């Protein structure tokens, strides 16, 4: 199986991809080609990869098929980064399937999950560990990894790691891009650690007044009351309870929950959160289930993510980055009781 980094505007044969999701001037995809032994070719948009604080990841993937562009082949995949994935392209969400390591989807999963980690057990005010070569060299040969590691640890950083290195047309190789991404992430990590220490560990994010309850029944709906303005868009997610030995399981690379750690599914099967809008100081989302199965009575953790406030319309790459950064951490994590 071969992995080739490239810029894709995209010319497959002589036909350029003009999908509206990627033709906007505010967004520049960076494509990496993954080619299987049987000739199947996929393109992974490196700039679309998102990591979430539950250790999962998401990425846009295009299946190259013939000399033309087929919009049906542009998909968004969600990976649990523990060997499973699902197609989260709307409308609806596909079933969860296995991503064997040597398969094409397993290879794509490795690319999307590189650096993804569970952070729910971490104190956000404490310094975060420096990434290791084993994390940032995924997809590269030992020789390439040695060159990447040397460049990452070199001082000063390479001249080609200047602003805009990840944009289409930069001309950088896959090794150079990975080097720049690692250095950029390390610079952000260092700044965050310094800011955390200077502020005494106090979070800089604004807090919102919000209370949550769950309706009675085996398929609960989450009901919230808040001081957020009307029109605020939110995502509501229910996490699966961790097993008592979750830390031990995490360190050994095994699921920390019963069966898997997929969040509860919404009414349309969505597992990345159920969208809702605050109106008159209230919002609701659901009903939820465990992949169609009912809830057991008990206490469950609910996370609320702020998608956008009224009037927010991202118009630049920086705006999109701020929105994505904000959605990586919930504005509220609270427990609710589910009862018959």
pLDDT in tens, 208-257: 788 888 898 889 999 999 888 888 889 898 887 777 776 776 666 666 77
**pLDDT reported for residue 221:** 92
Q: Give the Cα separation of 309 and 229 in Å (integer).
A: 8
How far apart, in whole angstroms, are the C-alpha atoms of residue 211 and residue 226? 7
φ, ψ at 245 (rounded to 5°): -100, 40
Say which residue, 67 or 85, is predicted with more confidence: 85
**Helix, strand or coil for residue 210?**
strand
Coil, helix or strand at residue 48: helix
Beta strands in 164-294 (DSSP E): 210-214, 222-226, 233-239, 274-277, 282-285
The helix (H) or strand (E) run that includes residue 86 is strand 84-87
pLDDT per position as a tens digit, 30-43: 888 888 777 788 98
Rounded-to-integer distance, Cα 42 and Cα 61, Å? 7
Helices 142-153 & 174-198, crossing angle to 10 degrees? 40
- 299 pairs with which residues across the strands? 337
**What confidence score (pLDDT) does residue 3 get?**
47
Do the Cβ atoms of 98 and 131 come closer than 8 Å?
A: no
Q: Using alpha carbons only, what angle is made at residue 81 by residues 319 and 176, rounded to the nearest 5 degrees?
A: 60
- Minimum mean pLDDT range among 113-122, 228-237, 324-333: 113-122
Query: Are 305 and 235 spatial neighbours (Cβ–Cβ below 8 Å)?
Result: yes
> CA–CA separation, 239 vs 42, rounded Å?
31
Instruction: Provide the H-helix boundaries in 211-289.
Output: 246-251
CA dihedral 16, 18, 21, 23 (to 10 degrees): 90
For residue 179, the SS3 value is helix
For the stretch 15-35, pLDDT in tens is 333 333 333 344 577 888 888
């Amino acid at each position: 199986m071969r992995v080739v980094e490239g810029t894709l505007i995209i010319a497959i044969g002589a036909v350029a991809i003009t999908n509206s999701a990627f033709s906007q001037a505010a967004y520049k995809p960076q494509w990496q080609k993954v080619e299987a032994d049987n000739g199947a070719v996929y393109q992974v948009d490196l700039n679309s990869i998102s990591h979430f604080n539950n250790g999962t990841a998401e990425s846009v993937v295009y299946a190259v098929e013939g000399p033309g562009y087929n919009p049906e082949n542009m998909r968004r995949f969600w990976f649990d980064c523990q060997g499973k994935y699902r197609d989260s392209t709307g409308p609806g969400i596909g079933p969860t399937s296995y991503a064997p390591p040597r398969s094409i989807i397993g290879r794509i999963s490795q690319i999307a999950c590189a650096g993804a980690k569970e952070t729910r057990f971490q104190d956000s005010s404490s310094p975060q560990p420096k990434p290791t070569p084993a994390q940032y060299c995924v997809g590269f040969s030992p020789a390439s990894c040695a060159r990447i590691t040397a460049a990452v640890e070199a001082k000063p950083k390479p001249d080609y790691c200047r602003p805009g290195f990840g944009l289409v047309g930069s001309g950088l190789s896959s090794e150079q891009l990975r080097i720049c991404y690692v250095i950029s992430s390390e610079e952000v990590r260092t700044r965050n650690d310094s800011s955390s220490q200077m502020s005494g560990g106090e979070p800089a994010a604004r807090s919102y007044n919000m209370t949550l309850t769950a309706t009675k029944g085996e398929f609960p709906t989450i009901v919230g009351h808040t001081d957020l303005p009307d029109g605020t868009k939110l995502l509501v997610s229910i996490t699966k309870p961790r097993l008592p030995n979750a830390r031990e399981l995490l360190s050994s690379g095994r699921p920390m929950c019963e069966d898997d750690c997929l969040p509860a599914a919404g009414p349309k099967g969505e597992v990345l959160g159920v969208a809702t809008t605050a109106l008159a100081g209230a919002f609701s989302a659901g009903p939820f289930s465990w992949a169609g199965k009912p809830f057991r009575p008990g206490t469950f953790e609910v996370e609320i993510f702020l998608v956008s406030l009224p009037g927010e319309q991202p118009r630049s790459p920086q705006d999109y980055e701020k929105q994505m950064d904000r959605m990586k951490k919930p504005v509220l994590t609270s427990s609710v009781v589910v009862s018959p």
